[in-house]
């Protein structure tokens, strides 16, 4: 786990998550610093969203946390009762989902939903809540606010709906925003606008961002820290500027080498094979069947641990 000199807001310690007999997360450790943007990256199915949903305590009924701690502002959220978690969600910890329609009720206007969200987390009048709603919609650059307050979700574009979800997080002064693939369904231009907006919120309000993404090219421009996940394990962690200069884990190298460049003349490199399912039993390193550096005498027998290979740079590899 990375140790920095900034104050910690969220500390996940040795988190182990199961679906029945199958393990989905293995000793996950994450240390989020106040006011930072920490990106959790990896291919689909590697455990990123399950890690985020563990923090929110919004896991499927079939999932169970067998061990570990989730410390938010010095409190272990795994000891919180559901009522306490409901008070925390949307208030201190907010979620920006992949599909904003899952968080917007199609039967109510955007203004009504914002006002209700504000009043549910603070003792203010309807008039005060409406004024606050206008303020946060202005912050996320929604035009013609008075008119748009009376619009229903279906009357907004995907990018505008995502801005409204971000406005809801701002309205309750959330200290931690979990952005789960917040730009997945948006075109490239709108992706950049949304990421710029999230970055501005971090800088202007000191909000901590946990960014879940499979897109290394996207996070490279915004994240302060990077954690790479593979098959339920964190395999590399480092400050962003260090990570992109010199990735240490073979999986991280493969991800970066598969990114297109402006001067792309050769065929794009790919990672052979696909990530294993949680039902698939692989001995040793989970990445060894796809790894170009695999030593069958070592990698198939030992489980690599995340260790500090260089200053503030951690990797879980037995070879490199």
Tens of pLDDT, residue by residue over 23-41, are 999 999 999 999 999 999 9
**Per-residue three-class SS string for 45-76:** CCCHHHHHHHHHCCCCCCEEEEEEEEEECCEE
From 43, 11, 63, select the one nearest 210 (Cα to Cα): 11
What is the predicted pLDDT for the residue at 5?
A: 45
The secondary structure of 247-304 as a DSSP string is --SHHHHHHHHTS--TT--SPPP--SS-PPPTTS---S-TTGGG-TT--HHHHTT---
Question: Which of 46-55, 76-85, 165-174 has the least mean pLDDT?
Answer: 165-174
Q: Does domain 8-92+174-315 have CATH number 3.40.50.300?
A: yes
Domain residue extents for the chain: 8-92+174-315, 103-172
C-alpha to C-alpha distance for 163 and 169, rounded to whole angstroms? 10
What is the predicted pLDDT for the residue at 262?
A: 59
C-alpha to C-alpha distance for 126 and 270, rounded to whole angstroms? 54
pTM beyond cutoff 0.85? yes
- Residue 76's DSSP bridge partners are 71
Tens of pLDDT, residue by residue over 40-52, are 999 988 999 999 9
State the DSSP H helix or E strand holding residue 240, giving kind and residue range, or none if neither.
helix 240-245
From 69, 73, 75, select the one nearest 29 (Cα to Cα): 69
For 189, residues 6+ apart whose C-beta sits below 8 A from its C-beta are none
Q: Inform me whether the pLDDT recorded for 268 exceeds 80.
A: no
What is the predicted pLDDT for the residue at 266?
A: 60
C-alpha to C-alpha distance for 3 and 272, rounded to whole angstroms? 34
C-alpha to C-alpha distance for 255 and 248, rounded to whole angstroms? 12
What is the predicted pLDDT for the residue at 1?
A: 42
Grouping H, G, I as helix, E, B as strand and the rest as coil, residue 193 is: helix
When pLDDT is cut at 50, 70 and 90, the band that residue 306 belongs to is very high
């Amino acid at each position: 786990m990375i140790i920095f000199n900034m104050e910690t807001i969220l500390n996940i310690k040795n988190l182990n998550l199961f679906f029945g007999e199958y393990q989905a997360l293995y000793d996950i450790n994450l240390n989020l610093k106040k006011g930072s943007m920490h990106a959790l990256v990896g291919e689909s199915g590697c455990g990123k969203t399950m890690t985020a949903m563990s923090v929110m305590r919004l896991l499927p009924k079939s999932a169970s946390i067998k061990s570990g701690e989730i410390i938010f502002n010095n409190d272990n959220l795994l000891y919180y009762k559901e009522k306490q978690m409901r008070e925390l969600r949307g208030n201190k910890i907010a979620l920006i989902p992949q599909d904003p329609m899952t968080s917007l009720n199609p039967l109510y206007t955007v203004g009504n939903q914002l006002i209700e969200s504000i009043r549910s987390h603070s003792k203010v009048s309807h008039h005060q809540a409406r004024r606050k709603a206008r303020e946060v919609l202005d912050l996320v650059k929604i035009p013609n606010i008075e008119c748009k307050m009376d619009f229903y979700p279906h009357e907004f574009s995907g990018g505008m709906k995502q801005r409204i979800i971000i406005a809801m997080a701002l309205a309750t002064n959330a200290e931690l925003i979990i952005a789960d693939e917040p730009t997945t369904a948006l075109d490239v231009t709108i992706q950049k606008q949304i990421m710029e907006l999230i970055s501005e919120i971090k800088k202007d309000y000191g909000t901590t961002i946990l960014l879940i993404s499979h897109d290394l090219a996207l996070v490279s421009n915004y994240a302060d820290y990077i954690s790479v996940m593979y098959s339920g394990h964190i395999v590399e962690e480092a400050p962003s500027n260090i990570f992109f200069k010199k990735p240490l884990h073979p999986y991280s190298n493969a991800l970066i080498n598969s990114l297109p460049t402006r001067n792309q003349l050769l065929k794009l490199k790919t990672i052979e094979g696909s990530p294993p399912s949680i039902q698939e039993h692989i001995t040793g390193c989970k990445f060894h069947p796809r790894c170009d550096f695999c030593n069958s005498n070592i990698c198939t027998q030992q489980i690599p641990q995340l260790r500090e290979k260089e200053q503030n740079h951690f990797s879980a590899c037995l070879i490199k």
